[in-house]
Amino acid sequence: MAKQWRGVIREYFDRLPVSEHTPIITLGEGGTPLIPAPALSRRVGAEVYVKYEGMNPTGSFKDRGMTMAISKAMERGAKAVICASTGNTSASAAAYATAAGIRAAVLVPDGKIAMGKLSQAVAHNAHILQIDGNFDVCLTVARQLSERYPVHLVNSVNPDRIEGQKTAAFEVIDVLDRAPDIHVLPVGNAGNITAYFKGYREAQEAGEISKLPMMWGFQAEGASPIVLGHAIENPDTVATAIRIGNPASWAQAIEARDVSGGYIGAISDEKILEAHRILSAEVGIFVEPASAISVAGLLNRHEAGLVPGGSTIVLTVTGHGLKDPQWALHGLDGVETTPTQMSSDVDEIADALGLASRA
Ligand code: F0G
């Protein structure tokens, strides 16, 4: 029988805080492809790979952390879990809670949740509450609920989430047989940059890699508290996944940046959508806008002359394009791309396609 990937807990059992008493709740997450991106390599004069986290069971990297968070919650006897979310965490929590046979409650900000993500939470029968406030407000409420009521918090402030998500760094090393020189990723609540950095550090301590990659993180200009150095009350960006004004793992993100000699910068919505298009139309990978910021960030640094020639670079793209497909159809100007209407006449169609007759 063909070998099947067993999910991140079984694949990295010895490197996670689990034991034979931990019930393993998995949907087969992880083992995502590290895809060479020649079009990006040519653009920046380096060797660029894309870690396509949209290939996880619910379409985002959250599943790596959620398999751990839900498994550990079950080990501790949880009957219900709760999270605040811009969409992907709620989709993942809902799916893994279902797999565990418990209920997930999710708090989502008013509006600004991509349709695909909301559909997932509904489909997996989560208890969905839309809160009058942004993500930061939702997270504060979720934390207080978990302190005062019998419900386990599965946001990335839960250390089990970080443990699960660090496996993505292990996978990159397993494929490259080394760490990249630079690792680029989006920053929202800053859990994922924290998790990757923990993974790389552990690999270095284990003697698997000789040096850490520089961690480059990017926030959307309208939601860039770390770059500005202060919290933002009303964050705004087309990249709704990272529409966050006061990241919970702020200090850890700064540490990852500084210890690795890295960088955290801000990118405009225009540049995010431009990169979204480059990734889909030149590389062949469809992501949601928040994920495209990795590409936009790399191109931005290249324009500034700050991408070392010939270096090995991994871009994490965090969520699948089908989560929030509207940005492929119409950009910031709102002009919608629609297919040209045609009859079924073969010659007319050939003409429209610019095909010459075979004679
Ligand atoms: N990319 C996507 C697609 C996300 O959904 C998120 C976070 C991030 C990047 C940023 O990761 O928060 O670890 O820095 N989404 C959370 C959610 C906030 O609720 O789904 P981070």
Using CA atoms, how far apart are residues 104 and 323, in angstroms rounded to an integer?
20
pLDDT for res 88: 98
- Long-range (24+ apart) CB contacts under 8 A made by 142-151 are 142/82, 142/83, 142/84, 142/107, 145/82, 146/82, 150/79, 150/80, 151/78, 151/80, 151/81, 151/82, 151/105
Encoded tokens for 285: 């990978």
- For residues 145-154, give the mean pLDDT: 97
pLDDT for the residue numbered 87: 98
Helix ranges (DSSP H) in 3-87 = 8-11, 38-44, 62-75
For residue 84, which atom of ligand 1 is closest to its CA? 19
Distance 207 CA to ligand 1 centre (A): 30
Confidence of residue 335 (pLDDT cuts 50, 70, 90): confident
User: CB-based burial of residue 50 (10 Å sphere; 0-12 exposed, 13-18 middle, 19+ buried)?
Assistant: buried
**pLDDT, average across residues 130-154:** 97
Query: Roughly what angle, to the nearest 10 degrees, separates helices 191-205 and 167-176?
Result: 50
Q: What is the mean pLDDT of residues 90-100?
A: 98
The pTM of this model reads 0.97
3-state secondary structure 86-129: CCHHHHHHHHHHHHHCCEEEEEEECCCCCHHHHHHHHHCCCEEE
User: Is the separation of the CB atoms in 25 and 67 below 8 Å?
Assistant: yes
> How many Cβ atoms sit within 10 Å of the Cβ of residue 123?
12
In short, whether 241's Cβ falls inside 6 Å of ligand 1 is yes
Ligand 1 pocket check for 242: Cβ under 6 Å: yes
Any atom of ligand 1 within 6 Å of the Cβ of 235: no
**CB-based contact 73:152 (threshold 8 Å):** yes
Label residue 75 by pLDDT band (50, 70, 90). Answer: very high
Ligand 1 proximity of 11 Cβ (cutoff 6 Å): no
Q: Whose CA is nearest to atom 10 of ligand 1?
A: 188
For the purposes of burial, counting CB atoms within 10 Å of the CB of 75, is it exposed (0-12), middle (13-18) or buried (19 or more)?
middle
Q: Is the CB of 290 under 6 A from ligand 1?
A: yes
Residue 231 contacts residue 245 (beta carbons within 8 Å): yes
Residue with CA nearest ligand 1 atom 19:
85
**Pocket flag, ligand 1, residue 60 (CB < 6 Å):** yes
User: Can you give the pLDDT at residue 201?
Assistant: 98
Per-residue pLDDT at 311 exceeds 90: yes
Cβ(67) – ligand 1 distance below 6 Å: no
Which atom of ligand 1 is least distant from the CA of 155?
19
Q: Say how many C-beta atoms besides its own lie within 10 A of residue 78's C-beta.
A: 18
Distance between CA atoms of 351 and 237, rounded to whole angstroms?
41
Q: Is the CB of 85 under 6 A from ligand 1?
A: yes
The pLDDT of residue 309 is: 97
First vs last C-alpha separation in the chain: 51
Minimal-distance CA residue to ligand 1 atom 12 = 189
- The pair of three-digit structure tokens given for residue 11, joined into one six-digit string: 């694949």
Kindly state if the Cβ of 106 falls inside 6 Å of ligand 1: no
Confidence grade of residue 22 (pLDDT, cut at 50, 70, 90): very high
Range of weakest confidence among 134-143, 301-310, 335-344:
335-344
310 CA from centroid of ligand 1 (Å): 30
User: 319-333 pLDDT, tens per residue?
Assistant: 999 999 999 988 777
Tell me which of 184, 189, 197 to substitute to probe ligand 1's pocket, judged by most ligand atoms within 8 Å of the beta carbon.
189
Q: Report the percentage of the chain scoring pLDDT > 90.
A: 94
> Sorting pLDDT into bands at 50, 70 and 90, what band is 141?
very high
User: What CA–CA distance (Å, rounded) separates 146 from 82?
Assistant: 8
| pLDDT of 66 over the 90 cut | yes
Q: Write down the pLDDT at residue 338.
A: 87
Q: For residue 274, what are the contacts with CB-CB under 8 A and spacing of at least 6? A: 296
Eight-state DSSP code of residue 206: T
Confidence of residue 89 (pLDDT cuts 50, 70, 90): very high
Listed in sequence order, the DSSP H helices in 206-322 are: 225-228, 250-259, 269-278, 289-303
Residue 208 above 90 pLDDT? yes
The closest-lying atom of ligand 1 relative to the alpha carbon of residue 165 is 13
Asked whether the predicted pLDDT for residue 287 surpasses 80, the reply is yes
Mean pLDDT computed over every residue of the chain = 97
Tell me if 92 CB under 6 Å of ligand 1: no
- Å from CA of 339 to ligand 1 middle: 32
pLDDT score of 336: 86
Phi/psi of residue 149, each to 5°? -130, 160
| Number of C-beta neighbours around residue 71 at 10 A | 24
- Residue with the smallest CA separation from ligand 1 atom 15 is 241
Indicate the pLDDT class of residue 112, thresholds 50, 70 and 90: confident
The 10s digit of each residue's pLDDT in 181-201 is 999 999 999 999 999 999 999
Burial 13-31 (b: 16+ CB within 10 A, else e): eebbebeeebebbbbebbb
The reported pLDDT for the residue numbered 332 is 74
Tokens of 232: 């933002």
